[in-house]
Chain A
Amino acid sequence: MRSASPLGRRLARLAGGAGLLAVAGMLYLLVRYLEQAGPAFVANRLLLPALSIAIVVLILGLAAVLVRNLVRLVMDRKRGILGARLRTKLVFFFLALVLPSAFILFYGSATIIKMTVEAMLRTPIERIITDTQGVAQQWTAHLMRDCETHARRLAANAGALGPETLEAARQEAELALLAVVPANGPPRIARDAVWAARLAPSTSWRELAREALTEGRAKRRLEQIGGGLLAQAAVPLPHGQGAVVAGAFLAPAEAARLESIAATAEAYRQFRAQRRELVALYLSLIGLIFLVTVFGATWVGFYLSRRITDPVRELAAAAREISGGNLAVRVRAQVGDELGELVRAFNEMAAQLQESQEVIRRSTAELRRSMGALEERRRYIETLVANLSTGVLSLDPQGRVTTVNPAVERILGVALQLRDAARERLQAAGHAPLVAVLDEATRSGRQTAVRQLTLHRGDEAIAVAVQVSPLRGPEGAGLGTLVMIEDLTDLLRAQRAAAWREVARRIAHEIKNPLTPIQLAAQRLRRKFRERAPDLGEVIEQASASIEREVAGLKRLVDEFSRFARMPEVAPEAVDFRQVVRSVLDLYGGLPEVEWEVHFDEGVGVVRVDPEQMRRVLINLIDNAVRAMEGKGRIRIAASCPRGPGSLRVEVADTGPGISPAVRAKLFVPGFSGQPRGGGLGLAIVHRVVTDHRGSIRVEDNEPRGAKFVIEIPA
């Protein structure tokens, strides 16, 4: 809908206001005129038609305005223009408010006017006026009859009457005028009545005389002269000789009373004769006021409704603009009431939104730059992680894979995908020890678990170092688990090679050590024999004893290595592990200064292990513990089945000096010994037996002191 410009609307308002003022002014002037003019205003031939035309024009104007605005309202409502409903309600409210009251006022006023007019006509005033005027007319008629009587009396001898005689007769009859008008010739007038004859209209008494002469009968007439009244009568003379005219004069004071009576009677009769027009005129006036009121109410209704709805419509349009993203829009409606407050608040809100949008735009740009940097950083880290030789695996709290790098598959031989259930996939791939570490870390919650495990990638056994750390958010919330897996196989292989070199060196050294005494003993024997020394026998005895001793040492050394080399394949069978432990402890009954503590959980019972090998494992560990404590202290042996029946966890703890981290790294390497007299094969044998059972072994610090070996074997 096209709306008028502000200037156009202002001009229209001014024109409407000026029109209403003009109509109101016209009504005011009309009422003033009616007040001054009295009932005679009805005689004005232009007034009533002008009022009628004004009413018709106003009716047409009102109808046009109403139809135009109502059509606009209907169109606006059909178009869904905001405010149309409110405007319709307001306009109809005003019409409903004004129309009935105005109509009742109009109808009531009209009824009252009609009743008043009719009541005035029914009152005794008409009879009073009629009677009063009758008396006045009888009085003037009496005067004219007297004049006629005097005129008839003189008419008998009028031919002999001269001015003096006429004057005497006039005086005798107390007339104002007495004259004889001959058919031919100048009239004869009583001497002192000339003034009356002159005052009377020149044609008056002469015409009256001629009328009487013409008609042959007496004629009477009342004339206004000099502020008074002249009652006249003319009587024809016999034989058509002329006529006698007699007149009596009523003084102005008396004449004024008669005139007043006549004027009052005229006014009343005019009122009665014009009562319909009078009522019509009053009704026209009231109708005009009614129409002006309705017109004004309608106009005010439209004006007020527009004053309310225009800002609302502008607000809605601006809100739509803002919702469309145009925050620069402002409402320009200038209103001073609460709507003005609303408009100002809306504009302030739009300004703040615009400012906020600018801030957001700048922040978004900054954020985009930061996101770009972060993305670049993320790609860098992803590349870094992907190229790490260490396997990196992160899991969500439900154990699903959230990050995995290629090293994991390379190390574990398991192609984990994002959102895979890591535990099930690893378990299915035979990496139970790793699953056990994950479970342990999950149970412990906050601690980082570091384990060295032997896993099997197909038929290949691999050694890995596993570090499992809980992932925490900024507020400490658990985000999952980070698993870092490092393939130690090559490293350990290298370490093992180095260890074997060390073993070879030590073996060589151990072999070389006895060789020297043997060589010296042999050389001493040869020298004593050449010297034929008397103590040859003693020397032979001593030398052979020394050689035997050293050879025995060599033999022990060789036997030990033979045993390590001859370790058989594990042959698991169902055995009661408690019996295995007890049979080992029976061997150490002769250590009085060692305090033993043995603990079996309820579930520990029959497990599938090689009993001889496991006995060897326990003996080696207990031997190490006794040696570390130098035969004095406390040894605790505990067995449990943390992962259900068939699984086994064995702890062997002592209260010795403990094992330093540097020693721990090489503890299970063959030939390495943390003790001066150790052969360096015991723990290597232990490690081999455990890994042959697909288990794991690790060393921890014992509380409050000492070392603790933990063996875990899956079911």
Chain B
Amino acid sequence: MGVALGVALAAGGGPAIGSLEVGRSQGGLSVRFDLEGVWSAELLERVQSGLELTFRHRVELVGKRIGWIFPRRTLARTVVETTLRYDSLTQRYEFVQRVVARRWAGPAEAAGPAVRRSTDAGDEARRWMTRLEGLPLPAPEAVGASVPVRVRIRSELDRKLVLGLFPWTRTVSRETLWGS
């Protein structure tokens, strides 16, 4: 973390969140991370068939638990959804990123405007889906944090079938070390 939050090592194997960085931006925090090991031939096939691919990322600022009895406090949360859709007629990828929920200590703020992009390059589309930048969180002092805080990421990815029958959404998560 460019600010004061160190990044914990991700668990090895399978999809993971890498290059997690938390920086200061316009009085708040800006989170950036990469999804690694997510993009596969099967996923590409699904995208190129015209199916909409949606990842949901929950970015939270959590405070350290006081004692052992109290749960960790979620000081702020931003939920971002990225969607990619391929138009086989125009042969272009349509990408949309929007904040679907934003909550910190206080009333929930309205979601911001969606970011829309399109490209005919598959690599660029993959990069849009696997690299998240500028995800906003409030500064710890802005939400009254008096204890060490950390940023926690939890991404819900594509859907798999367990036992060939029961659907299960793949998730990856990662968090920074405690900092201020």
Chain A residues close to B by CB (< 8 Å)? 43, 45, 48-49, 52, 55, 133, 137, 221-224, 229, 258-259, 262, 265-267, 269-270, 272-274, 276-277, 279-280, 283-284, 287
Contact = CB atoms under 8 A, between A and B. Distances in A.
| Shortest beta-carbon contacts, A-B, top 3 | A269-B49, A266-B50, A262-B89
A52 B165 contact: yes
B161 A270 contact: no
A45 B49 contact: no
B167 A269 contact: no
Contacts of A279: 164
A270 B165 contact: no
Q: Which of A49, A55, A258, A267 is most buried by chain B, counting CB atoms within 10 A of its CB?
A: A49
A269 B165 contact: no
B165 A43 contact: no
Interface in B57-71: none
Contact of A283 (B48, B92, B165): B165
Contacts, number: 64
Contacts of B92: 221-222
A277 B167 contact: yes
Interface in B37-62: 42, 45-46, 48-52
Contacts of A221: 90, 92, 120
Contacts of B90: 221-224
Contacts of A287: 165
B32 to A, nearest CB: 24
Given A48-B167, A280-B164, A259 B89 contact: yes
A355 to B, nearest CB: 67
B161 A269 contact: no
A284 B48 CA distance: 27
Given A269-B49, A270-B49, A273-B51, 20 more contacts: A43-B52, A48-B159, A52-B167, A221-B90, A221-B92, A222-B90, A224-B90, A259-B89, A262-B87, A262-B89, A266-B49, A266-B50, A266-B88, A269-B48, A269-B88, A272-B49, A273-B46, A274-B51, A276-B164, A280-B164
Nearest to A267: B50
Contacts of B88: 133, 262, 265-266, 269
Contacts of A276: 161, 164
B168 to A, nearest CB: 9
Interface of B: 42, 45-46, 48-52, 87-92, 120, 159, 161, 164-167
B164 A43 contact: no
B85 to A, nearest CB: 10
17 contacts: A43-B51, A222-B90, A258-B89, A262-B88, A266-B49, A266-B50, A266-B88, A269-B45, A269-B49, A269-B88, A273-B45, A273-B46, A273-B51, A277-B161, A280-B161, A283-B164, A283-B165
Q: Which of B46, B90, B92 is most buried by chain A, counting CB atoms within 10 A of its CB?
A: B90
A217 to B, nearest CB: 13
Nearest to A52: B166
A223 B91 CA distance: 10
A276 B116 CA distance: 31
B165 A284 contact: yes
B144 to A, nearest CB: 36
A73 to B, nearest CB: 31
Chain A, interface SS category: helix
A56 to B, nearest CB: 8
Q: Which of A266, A279, A284 is most buried by chain B, counting CB atoms within 10 A of its CB?
A: A266
A283 B51 CA distance: 22
A273 B92 CA distance: 19
A49 B167 contact: yes
A668 B89 CA distance: 160
B24 to A, nearest CB: 30
A280 B168 CA distance: 12
Nearest to A268: B49
Contacts of B167: 48-49, 52, 277, 280
Contacts of B161: 276-277, 280
Nearest to B49: A269
Contacts of B42: 273
A137 B48 CA distance: 14
Nearest to B165: A280
Q: Which of B42, B46, B90, B167 is most buried by chain A, counting CB atoms within 10 A of its CB?
A: B167
Contacts of A277: 159, 161, 167
Q: Which of B46, B52, B89 is most buried by chain A, counting CB atoms within 10 A of its CB?
A: B89
Nearest to B43: A273
A52 B169 CA distance: 13
Nearest to A136: B89
B51 A270 contact: yes
Contacts of B48: 269
Q: Which of A221, A258, A273, A283 is most buried by chain B, counting CB atoms within 10 A of its CB?
A: A273
A262 B46 CA distance: 15
Contacts of A267: 50
Nearest to A45: B159
B49 to A, nearest CB: 3
Given A221-B90, A222-B91, A270 B50 contact: yes
A279 B165 CA distance: 8
Contacts of A48: 159, 167
A133 B50 CA distance: 14
Contacts of A55: 165
A54 to B, nearest CB: 12
A57 to B, nearest CB: 13
A223 B89 CA distance: 9
Nearest to B161: A280
Given A269-B45, A273-B45, A224 B89 contact: yes
Nearest to A255: B89
A53 to B, nearest CB: 9
A221 B118 CA distance: 11
Contacts of B50: 266-267, 269-270
Contacts of A280: 161, 164-165, 167
Contacts of B159: 45, 48, 277
Nearest to A49: B167
A8 B88 CA distance: 61
A49 B169 CA distance: 10
A270 B120 CA distance: 20
A273 B161 CA distance: 13
B129 to A, nearest CB: 16
A672 to B, nearest CB: 134
A137 B91 contact: yes
B36 to A, nearest CB: 23
Contacts of A270: 49-51
B125 to A, nearest CB: 15
A273 B49 contact: yes
B19 to A, nearest CB: 27
A262 B50 CA distance: 10
A258 B42 CA distance: 26
B117 to A, nearest CB: 11
A276 B159 CA distance: 11
Nearest to B54: A45
A335 to B, nearest CB: 43
A259 B167 CA distance: 32
A270 B165 CA distance: 19
A49 B51 CA distance: 18
B45 to A, nearest CB: 5
Contacts of A52: 165-167
